[in-house]
C-alpha cells in the first residue's frame, strides 16, 4: 500500500510538493513509461483502473497524471484519455520548438548553467522518499549491460528525478526543455557508437557515487560529478564532430 498523504513545503516558500501518495503514483507510472510497459502512443488505463490497480483515490491519480503531463511524458486528450508521448529512442519530433532549434553545443552551455545548481538544490530539498525513488532508478541503470539506449532512457529519468527534487516548478519546467533537447535525433546514433558496455559500466560507477553523495547530502561531491559528467559528454560531441 502507498504511504499516507502529507504535504511538504519548503521553508520561506509558498510552494507545496506532491503528497507522498501522489508522489508514489507519479514514480510508479513514470517508471512504467520509462521501462516501456506503456509504450509510445499507447493509451494509459483509465483513471478508475489506475486507482484500483494502485490502491489510491481517483483524484490522486488525476493529480499525478497532471504532474506527468507537465514533465512531457504524456498528453491528455479530453474524452479520449492519457497517451504516452515519451519516445525512448528520442527519434520523434521535439515536444517544444525551442528544443528542436537547440544545437549540441548550445545544449551543453545550458546544462553547464543549470545542472550543478540543480543538484545542489535537490540535495537541500529532497525528502527521503524521493531519494529512495532515485535509488530505484539507479538500480535499473545498474542492471543494463549492453543496451545503450535503455541506459540513456534511465539516465534521463535519473536527471529528471533530481530536477523534481528541487521542488522548484520553474526549474523543473526548464529542465524538461533540456531533456527534450537531449532527445534530439543527433544524440541517438552518437550514443550507439560511443556508449559501449565498458563505458556503461564506468558511468554506472559514477552514478552510484553521485547517488551516494545525494543520499549523504554532500553538495560539493555531487556538484563535482555533474561538472565531470558534462566534460565527458563534451568529449563525445567532439569525437562525433
Question: 28-32, 93-97, 164-168, 230-234: lowest mean pLDDT where?
Answer: 93-97
Question: 30-44, 97-111, 158-172, 187-201: lowest mean pLDDT where?
Answer: 187-201
- Global pTM value: 0.65
Q: Binning pLDDT at 50, 70 and 90, where does residue 156 land?
A: confident
pLDDT of residue 89: 60
Mean pLDDT over 69-90 rounds to 81
pLDDT of residue 189: 65
pLDDT of residue 59: 94
- Tell me phi and psi for residue 9, to 5 degrees: -120, 150
Mean pLDDT over 213-230 rounds to 93
Q: Give the three-class secondary structure for 9.
A: strand
pLDDT of residue 93: 46
Q: Is the dihedral of CA 91, 92, 93, 99 positive or negative?
A: negative
Mean pLDDT over 201-228 rounds to 94
pLDDT of residue 191: 66
Q: Give the three-class secondary structure for 241.
A: coil
Task: Sort residue 165 into left (φ over 0), alpha (ψ -120 to 50) or beta.
Answer: alpha
Q: Is the pLDDT of residue 190 over 50?
A: yes
Query: Rounded to whole angstroms, how far apart are CA atoms 144 and 138?
Result: 10
Q: Binning pLDDT at 50, 70 and 90, where does residue 2 land?
A: very low
Q: Binning pLDDT at 50, 70 and 90, where does residue 142 land?
A: very high
Q: Binning pLDDT at 50, 70 and 90, where does residue 196 land?
A: confident
Which comes out higher in pLDDT, residue 28 or 90?
A: 28
Q: Is 208 exposed, middle or buried (0-12, 13-18, 19+ CB in 10 A)?
A: middle
Query: Rounded to whole angstroms, how far apart are CA atoms 201 and 203?
Result: 5
Question: 113-117, 177-181, 197-201, 217-221: lowest mean pLDDT where?
Answer: 177-181
pLDDT of residue 150: 83
Q: Is 241 exposed, middle or buried (0-12, 13-18, 19+ CB in 10 A)?
A: exposed
Q: Is the pLDDT of residue 122 over 80?
A: yes
pLDDT of residue 90: 55
Amino acid at each position: 500500500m502507498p504511504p499516507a498523504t502529507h504535504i511538504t513545503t519548503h521553508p520561506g516558500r509558498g510552494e507545496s510538493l506532491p503528497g507522498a501518495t501522489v508522489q508514489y503514483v507519479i514514480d510508479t507510472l513514470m517508471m512504467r513509461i520509462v521501462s516501456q510497459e506503456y509504450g509510445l502512443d499507447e493509451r494509459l488505463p483509465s483513471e478508475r483502473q489506475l486507482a484500483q490497480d494502485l490502491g489510491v483515490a481517483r483524484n490522486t491519480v488525476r493529480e499525478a497524471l497532471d504532474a506527468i503531463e507537465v514533465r512531457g511524458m504524456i498528453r491528455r486528450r479530453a474524452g479520449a484519455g492519457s497517451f504516452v508521448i515519451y519516445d525512448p529512442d528520442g527519434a520523434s519530433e521535439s515536444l517544444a520548438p525551442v528544443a528542436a532549434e537547440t544545437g549540441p553545443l548550445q545544449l551543453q552551455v545550458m546544462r553547464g548553467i543549470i545542472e550543478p545548481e540543480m543538484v545542489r538544490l535537490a540535495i537541500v530539498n529532497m525528502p527521503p522518499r524521493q531519494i529512495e525513488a532515485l535509488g530505484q532508478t539507479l538500480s535499473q541503470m545498474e542492471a543494463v549491460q549492453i543496451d545503450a539506449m535503455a541506459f540513456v532512457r534511465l539516465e534521463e529519468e535519473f536527471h529528471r528525478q533530481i530536477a523534481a527534487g528541487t521542488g522548484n516548478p520553474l526549474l523543473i519546467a526548464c529542465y524538461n526543455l533540456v531533456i527534450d533537447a537531449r532527445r534530439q535525433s543527433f544524440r541517438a546514433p552518437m550514443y550507439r557508437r560511443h556508449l559501449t558496455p565498458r563505458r556503461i559500466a564506468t558511468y554506472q560507477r559514477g552514478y552510484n557515487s553521485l547517488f551516494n553523495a545525494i543520499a549523504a547530502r554532500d553538495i560539493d561531491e555531487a556538484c563535482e560529478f555533474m561538472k565531470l559528467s558534462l566534460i565527458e559528454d563534451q568529449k563525445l560531441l567532439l569525437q562525433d564532430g
